[in-house]
Amino acid sequence: MISAASRPYIDASVPVLREHGLTITRTFYASMFAAHPELTNLFNMGNQASGVQQQSLASAVFAYAANIDNAGALGPVVSRIVHKHAAVGIRADHYPIVGFHLLGAIKTVLGDAATEPLLKAWEEAYGSLARLLIDAEAKMYADAGVQPGELRAMRVIELVRESDNVTALRLAPADGGALPPFKAGQYVSVEVVFADGHRQLRQYSLSDANGKDSLRISVKREDAQADVPAGAVSTWLHQNVKVGDVLNVSHPFGDFQPDTESNEPVVLLSAGVGITPMIATLNRIAQVNPERRVIFAHAARNAAHHAHQADIAAAKARMPYLHVVTFYEDGAIGDALPGKMELARLPSWPKGETDVYLCGPLPFMQAQWNALLAAGAPAARLHREVFGPDLLDNLL
């Protein structure tokens, strides 16, 4: 909660922050990393380089300012942040550092407009959001039975080339202990330490169901494009990991958790490597409720880029009411339809009462989300996972 004295300053500064938000966040990161270079081991420096993380923190600050008294609207944003923070190991003592540099950046960018009362109001607002996140994260760590930042040594017991650029890694606890529990849809952070000693974490959705003797992740190699360099961690994993190696991996977290235990029909829509949480979901449903009605639609560039075909074939063999629809952008092959995924080309389902889960690149998600809303699906029935900071602000 924000005091009555501070509220008018927060309300008045929301439009100003919207205007300068990105500059403020950039200034904030630059000053924080200069003062605390060790934090570059915690943050995703790929997101920093491409600018997406800057946008994401800016949108969180706006969302908070705009909804300062509206816990209901903030809920989903906070939940996503808390899971992500837990997966990277954010600690309570990190918050004053971020607060100091964020306030400093607001002051620098707003100049004379950053009056004492305005800065006080933002200090209070930041403090109140920080408290909320710290408490929620403490609960996440306690429920998971881990310390902030704790990673588990996992041995790579199998590598399967799933497509031209996706390799699946099976991971078993190196100490032979029990696997952590998880829900289909959740992800782990994987640690990579490069030759220069720099350390990075990336999240990978678990791509198989619970109840097995190992975890599985499926990593797409992000090759260099004309204007962007190759992805650091995915390329490293593809080039270096061998069976028998040990990777440090976080406890599973993530609030994208398709309901695998219900009997209701369900629709799973994915594109590209966004197939991973959907395969975990499908495999879990095949385990616990093979008679369930499931529409599983996936879009890939072509058959060579279509990962996890064996999982789909195995699920089909077990699930009489599974309806699989595949789209290949490069043209039809076998049962696959040509072109991009289109809602009109999927079997119909009662839009008002069916949960739809989506995962894939942002343009895919945006197109499906808008088409689903236009077809009468209520937003409350739509659930999405974004493989990066969630920038679909307009969809919140």
In the set 124, 137, 162, 222, the catalytic residue is: 137
> Which residue number places its CB atom closest to ligand HEM?
44
Active site residue 137: yes
Q: How far is the CB of 33 from ligand HEM (least distance, A)?
A: 10
Integer Cα distance of 55 and 22 in angstroms: 6
> CA-CA distances (angstroms) from residue 284 to 73, 83, 352?
31, 22, 25
205 binds, among ligand HEM, ligand FAD, none (CB under 5 to 8 A by kind): ligand FAD
Q: Which of 276, 281, 283, 326 binds ligand FAD (CB under 6 A)?
A: 276
68 binds, among ligand HEM, ligand FAD, none (CB under 5 to 8 A by kind): none
In the chain, the N- to C-terminal Cα span, in Å, equals: 22
* Total site size for ligand FAD, rule CB under 6 A: 26
Least distance to ligand HEM, CB of residue 308, Å: 24
CB 172 within 8 A of CB 154: yes
What residues are paired with 189 via a beta bridge? 203
Other Cβ atoms less than 10 A from the Cβ of 395: the count is 15
Q: How far is it, in rounded angstroms, from Cα 17 to Cα 38?
A: 28
User: Nearest approach, Cβ of 274 to ligand FAD (angstroms)?
Assistant: 8
**Would you say 254 or 346 has its CB closer to ligand HEM?**
254
How many CA atoms does the CB half-sphere of 31 hold within 13 Å?
Answer: 18
CB of 282 to ligand FAD, least distance (A): 14
Determine if 202 is a binding residue for ligand FAD (CB under 6 A).
yes
Question: How far is the CA of 277 from the CAs of 119, 204, 302, in angstroms?
Answer: 42, 9, 20
In this chain, which of 6, 163, 203, 210 binds ligand FAD, going by CB under 6 A? 203
Give the separation between CA 167 and CA 133, rounded to whole angstroms: 35
Contact positions vs ligand HEM (CB under 6 A): 39, 42-44, 47, 53, 56-57, 60, 80-81, 84-85, 88, 90, 94-95, 97-98, 126, 129-130, 133, 389-390
If one asks whether residue 76 binds ligand FAD (CB under 6 A), the answer comes out as: no
SS3 391: coil
CB 366 within 8 A of CB 372: no
Could you say which of 9, 95, 141, 204 is catalytic? 95
Angle, CA 294 vertex, CA 284 and CA 299 arms, to 5°: 95
The nearer residue to ligand FAD, 71 or 392, going by C-beta atoms, is: 392
DSSP string, 320-376: TTEEEEEEETT---TTPEESS--GGGSPP--GGG-EEEEES-HHHHHHHHHHHHHTT
Asked if residue 358 lies in contact with residue 368, where contact means CB atoms within 8 angstroms, the answer is yes
Chain positions 349 to 388 lying near ligand FAD, rule: CB under 6 A, are 385, 387-388
Q: Does 234 bind ligand FAD (CB under 6 A)?
A: yes
Closest distance to ligand HEM from the beta carbon of 52 (Å): 8
Q: Decide which of ligand HEM, ligand FAD, none touches 234; Cβ closer than 5 to 8 Å per partner kind.
A: ligand FAD
Tell me if 210 contacts ligand FAD by CB under 6 A: no
Give the integer Cα–Cα distance in Å for 366 and 395.
9
Cβ nearer to ligand FAD, comparing 180 with 231: 231
What order do you get walking across the sheet with 382-385 strand by strand? 337-338, 322-328, 294-300, 266-271, 355-359, 382-385
The entry of ligand HEM, ligand FAD, none that residue 390 binds, CB within 5 to 8 Å by partner kind: ligand HEM
Q: Please identify which residue in 23, 40, 41, 50 interacts with ligand FAD, judged by CB under 6 A.
A: 50
127 binds, among ligand FAD, ligand HEM, none (CB under 5 to 8 A by kind): none
Q: Which residues are catalytic?
A: 95, 137
Binding site for ligand FAD (CB under 6 A): 44, 46, 49-50, 187, 202-205, 218-220, 222, 228-229, 231-235, 254, 273, 276, 385, 387-388
